[in-house]
Structure 1
């Protein structure tokens, strides 16, 4: 079973990709994924994710299976050949517009059970995508501190004697 969503971002593909490969930052935006380790080609990283709306945390190893700069990041995790989860983010675009495709595939002997939870998976993917959009929008805006783009000469404080305005 495979589910795919897509959405547009107003940032460059390299910038979007850079934020996605920062696996530690998933804790800042993703509703249920917490990674341990660094993304690299063929790397194995730790993944904790919550089932049943986060009530049942599961730990597994995830193997990075696609690591293409500014284009794609994918990983696979699961329970041997019984159940495997393949998740992928693909970035297409030019300039300041990026089209993001998010795909999750359930594979293995128990994959037919994925059809039972298909509606919940779609809903979870939409929530993940919305959280990513909010996070990236905030990151693009910066840290929240306004930048003074006008050069102003700093005036030294002048002491005014009492009695003189």
Structure 2
């Protein structure tokens, strides 16, 4: 099963990719994902996400499967050949805008069960995309100003507080 959503924003693909590949910043915008460790090609990173509307936190290891600057960023989690969930953000320049394509793919023997949650998955992806769009728009607007130490300290403190609460 595969679900795709897309949206456009007015920043360059490299800037959008840089923000998306910053796993620590997911705590600032993503409704449920909290990553541990830094993204590098083929890295294993810790991932905590909420099932059942965030009430059931699950911890797992995610493998970074695509780390292509300004083009793609993706990770995969799974249970051997039984079930694999892949999530990808693909970026493409479209004139003055960047087109972002968000794809979630379920594969393996248990993947047909994904059709039971398809509507909820679509809704969740739209909420994630809206949160990412708000975050990227806010960051792009703020980056035209001179970034001062207070702003960097505030962002670091915000990340630390969110990580401590998870």
1:77, 1:86 within 8 Å by CA — same for their partners in 2?
A: yes
Q: Deviations over 1:42-98 (max 9, x none)?
A: 111000000000001100100001110100001100222221100000000056410
1:88-127 per-position Cα deviation (integer Å, ceiling 9, x unaligned): 0000005641000000001111100000000000000000
Larger radius of gyration: 1
In the other structure, the counterpart of 2:112 is 112
| TM-score scaled by length of structure 1 | 0.85
Kindly tell me the number of residue pairs found equivalent between the two proteins.
147
Instruction: Supply the distance in 2 between the matched residues of 1:99 and 1:144 (Cα, whole angstroms).
Output: 21
Aligned residue for 2:47, secondary structure, equals strand
Q: Counterpart of 1:27?
A: 27
Contact 1:12 1:94 in 2 (8 A): no
* CA gap 1:100/1:143 in 2 versus in 1, 3 angstroms: closer
Secondary structure of 1:130 counterpart: helix
TM-score w.r.t. structure 2 length?
0.84
Aligned ranges 1:36-115 → 2 under 5 Å: 36-93=36-93, 96-115=96-115
Higher helix share goes to which structure? 2
Offset, 1:22: 0.2
How large is the RMSD of aligned CA atoms in angstroms?
1.8
**Structure 2, unpaired ranges of 5+:** 148-166
Q: Which runs of 5+ in 1 are unaligned?
A: 148-165
1:126 equivalenced with 2:126 (yes/no)? yes
- Is the contact between residue 8 and residue 99 of structure 1 (CA under 8 Å) also seen in structure 2? yes
Structure 1 Cα separation of the partners of residues 93 and 143 of structure 2 = 25
